[in-house]
Homo-oligomer: A and B are copies of this chain.
Amino acid sequence: MTTERADATALADSIRHAGLRVTEPRVAVLGVLENESHIEAERVFRAVLPLVPGTSVQAVHGILAAFTQAGLVRRIEPAHSPALYERRVGDNHHHVVCTGCGAVEDIDCTVGHSPCLTPSSSGGFQIQTAEVTFWGLCPACQAAVPA
């Protein structure tokens, strides 16, 4: 089966097309991001290390920063949590964060057009984007803390 090979090639292509050089750690990082919807740098590092021994945490931070800048991944920073990286990019989706366990899920916010993204008064700001974070309890935490 050439599946793994093909995957690596596809990842490499994504990286190349973003205008970045293809390196082992970069392919590994992007691979990890494909498998985890929202993941922090530290966990990316721990997942990459066995795949590409010798990789440093700093490199992972650098790679994630490069990917973010190149638009390959998106970085979100929910309060009380280190930055999370996600592969889903290019659409304007939002997030729910569990106040119990910190779990994060994507939210396709607001049916139809986005009324919420037009503040009633922008205070003279020229608004570029809006970011919505919902806070609540995930199913598991709802079960754990009943009523």
Contact = CB atoms under 8 A, between A and B. Distances in A.
B77 A80 contact: yes
Contacts of A142: 126
Interface string A98-111: 11000001111111
B119 A128 contact: no
Tally of this chain's copies: 2
Interface magnitude class on chain A: 35 or more
A107 B122 contact: yes
A136 interface: yes
A119 B135 contact: no
The 6 A-B residue pairs with the shortest CB-CB distance, nearest first, are A116-B116, A127-B136, A77-B79, A105-B123, A124-B139, A125-B136
Interface of A: 75-77, 79-80, 83, 94, 96, 98-99, 105-111, 114-139, 142
